[in-house]
Amino acid sequence: MMSEILQGANEFYVEHDGEKAATIEFEPGSEGGEGPGVIMITHTFVSEELRGEGVGVDLVKQVVQYARDNELKVVPMCSFASSVMDKHTELQDVLV
């Protein structure tokens, strides 16, 4: 079952029972010294009830698509996003 991914302020998230059950957060890179045109994935969270369903991977893919749509590069600072992007070569075109 694919949950609907919603967009918030510098995040994408999935709701479950009216609560944020999974989130991926990112920041514009200019604050971190990476320069404009870069976003840094800073945190990924998936609740117990959604774990094992691929929701975290879907959230990383959503950020990659957002980056492509906005001509941005991605720095996966969170270990989960980094490991997903290592495993999925089709996501690596947006890496800095």
Q: What is the pLDDT of residues 11-24, one digit of tens each?
A: 999 999 899 999 99
Q: Span 38-42, mean pLDDT?
A: 95
Task: Quick: pLDDT tens for 68-83.
Answer: 999 999 999 999 999 9
Give pTM, 2 decimals.
0.91
The pLDDT of residue 30: 60
* Strand pairing class (19-28; 73-76): unpaired
How far apart are alpha carbons 80 and 42 in whole angstroms? Answer: 10
